[in-house]
Amino acid sequence: MNKKPTFFIAISPIIFLVIFLFINVSVYGDLCLNGPNQIALLVSSFFCSILGQIYSISWDNILIKIKENIQKTSSAIIIILLIGSLTGTWLISGVIPAFIYYGIQIINPKYFFVTACVVSSIVSITSGSSWSTIATIGIALLGIGNIFGISESILAGAIISGAYFGDKMSPLSDTTNLASAISDSKLFEHINYMTLTTIPSIFISLIIFFILGLNQNNNEISNISDLLLSIDGLFYISPILFLIPITLFFLIYKQFSPIISLFSTIILSSIFAIIFQPNIIQSIGNNENYFISSFISVINSMSGEISLESDNSLINNLLKSKGMAGMLNTVWLILAAIIFGASMEGSGFLNLITNFLSKFAKSKSSLILTTSGTCVLFNLTVSDQYLSILVPGKMFNSAFKKKNLANVNLSRTLEDSATVTSVLIPWNTCGATQSAILGVSTFMYFPFCFFNIISPFMTIIFAYLNIKIKKLKNE
C-alpha cells in the first residue's frame, strides 16, 4: 500500500492505549501496575506495528528503534534497581529510622506539606536530582507523615513538587543542562529566565499545601516518648548515621555518575549497618556467626523484601523494604513503554502527529503552546523524560528563531512542560519510578503535584499575555 497514513491513523494507537489503560484502572485499580498496564502497552505496540505494516513501514525500522531506545534507557534501569537496594540498606543501617526519629520531634504536622515541599526543594537543588531526593529524603518524609496520619497522596504530591522544582532550578541537573544545550542557551541565563514562571508556580503550590495542611485531620501522638523509645530500642540512633546521605549528596554535587554515587552509598550503608546495627543484622541473618549474618542481611536488604518488627504498631509498617525485587514491576513497565514509544517512532506515526501539531504554531504564543503540548505528548508516548526534551527541542529550535524568540524561551518551555509532567504519567520512566519508590500510585498523587500541573499552564499564560517574552533582537 503506497497510501500514506492520516493523522487519525497515526494517533489511533494512542487512543487504543488510553482506552485499554482506562479499562485496566476500572477493573484492577491500584493493581494495574503489576502487569495489566504492561500488557496494555505491549498490545498497543503490536497494534501500532500492524498498522505500520499495512502502510508499508518496515518491521526492521521499528525493531531498530526499539533496540536504540532500550539502549538509551539502560542506565536509567540500572539506577532504578540501585534505588531499590538503597532503600533496603538505608533501612538496616538506621538512616530512615533516624530521619523519622528526629523528624517527628521537630516537624509540626499542620505545616508538614509545606515543610516536605521546601525540604525536598533544598535537597534537590543541592543534589541536582529529583530521583535521588525522592528516593532518600522523600521516603523518610513519607514515613514521618504516616506516623502523623497525614494523607499519603497529598504528601507524595508535596515531595514530588519540591523535588522537581529543585531539579529544574539546579545547575547540576541533567535535564536543566540538556534543555539549555538543545536550545543553544547559556545554562545560567536559562535558569534565571526559568525563575519568571517557576517561582510563581512553586509559590502558588506552597499556598495550596499550606491550606491543605491546616485542614488536615492528624493523629494526636500522645505517646510520642514511647514511639521514640521503640525506635531507639530497635536501632542505634545517632547523627553519625547522616554521614550516609551527606556522602550521597556530596558525590552527586561533585558530579560523579548517579550509578557510582548510588552504589558507593549502598556499600557505605551496608558497612554502617554491620558496625552500628548488630541487633538488626542478627535479626535478619539469624546465624550465630556474625560474618554470615552480616552477609545474609546485606544481600537480602539489597535484593529482596525485608521486614522488621518493633513493639509499636505505628512504626512497623515503616520498617519494610522490597529491595531490587520491588523495582522489577517498574522496570517491566518502563521496557513496555519504551517498546510502545519506539513503535510509534519507528512507524513514523509520532513524526506525523508532531508535524500536524506544528501547523498550529502560527503566532509566537501558539508556537509555545504547540511546543508545550508536544513535550507532554512525547512524555505520554515515548515515555522518556530526556527524549521529551530532546526531540521537541530539535523540532522547534529553528521555529523559535524565525519568530524572533530568544533561545531561552524554548529552553524554558521544554523544562516547564517536559521535565515536570513526566512524573504525572504512570508508564513514563519518572512516573513509574517515583510511584514504586514512594509506594503511592501515580493516579493517587497526580492531583496533588500542584507544581508539576501548574508549570506548563504558567508558561502558556506568560506566552499569551506576552509577559517577559524575550526577543532575539528589537523588531
8 A C-beta contact, residue 117 and residue 158: yes
pTM assigned to the model:
0.79
**pLDDT tens per residue across span 110-143:** 888 999 999 999 888 877 788 888 888 888 888 8
- In this structure, is residue 421 part of a structural domain? yes
The pLDDT assigned to 220 comes to 56
Number of domains in the chain: 2
Domain closes at, from 326, 341, 368? 326
Q: Are residues 276 and 409 in the same domain?
A: no
- In this structure, is residue 454 part of a structural domain? yes
8 A C-beta contact, residue 317 and residue 423: no
- In this structure, is residue 204 part of a structural domain? yes
Domain closes at, from 326, 346, 365? 326
Residue with cell 542505634: 236
Question: In sequence order, which residues have a C-beta less than 8 Å from that of residue 215 and are 6 or more positions away?
Answer: none
The pLDDT assigned to 473 comes to 65
Domain closes at, from 298, 326, 354? 326
* Residues in the chain where the model's pLDDT stays below 70: 1-2, 30, 217-224, 313-314, 317, 473-475
The pLDDT assigned to 475 comes to 45
8 A C-beta contact, residue 106 and residue 149: no
Q: Are residues 205 and 316 in the same domain?
A: yes
Q: Are residues 83 and 135 in the same domain?
A: yes
Q: Are residues 290 and 148 in the same domain?
A: yes
Q: Are residues 360 and 284 in the same domain?
A: no
Q: Are residues 103 and 198 in the same domain?
A: yes
Q: Are residues 401 and 421 in the same domain?
A: yes
- In this structure, is residue 29 part of a structural domain? yes
Residue 380 lies in domain: 7-73+330-464
- In this structure, is residue 475 part of a structural domain? no
Q: Are residues 321 and 335 in the same domain?
A: no
Q: Are residues 58 and 151 in the same domain?
A: no
The pLDDT assigned to 147 comes to 81
Per-residue burial over 172-199, b if 16 or more Cβ lie within 10 Å, else e, is: bbebbebbbebbebeeeebbebbebbbe
The pLDDT assigned to 231 comes to 82
Question: Rg for the chain (alpha carbons), in Å?
Answer: 23
Q: Are residues 93 and 152 in the same domain?
A: yes
DSSP string for residues in 77-139: HHHHHHHHHHHHHHHHHTHHHHHHHHHHHH--GGGHHHHHHHHHHHHHHHHS-HHHHIIIIIH
Q: Are residues 178 and 35 in the same domain?
A: no
In angstroms, the CA 137 to CA 245 distance is 9
- In this structure, is residue 474 part of a structural domain? no
Neighbours of 434 (CB within 10 A): 28
Task: Name the DSSP letter for residue 405.
Answer: B
- In this structure, is residue 471 part of a structural domain? no
> Percent of the chain at pLDDT above 90?
29
8 A C-beta contact, residue 463 and residue 196: no
**pLDDT tens per residue across span 402-454:** 888 898 999 999 999 999 999 999 888 888 888 988 889 888 999 999 999 99
- In this structure, is residue 472 part of a structural domain? no
Q: Are residues 376 and 434 in the same domain?
A: yes
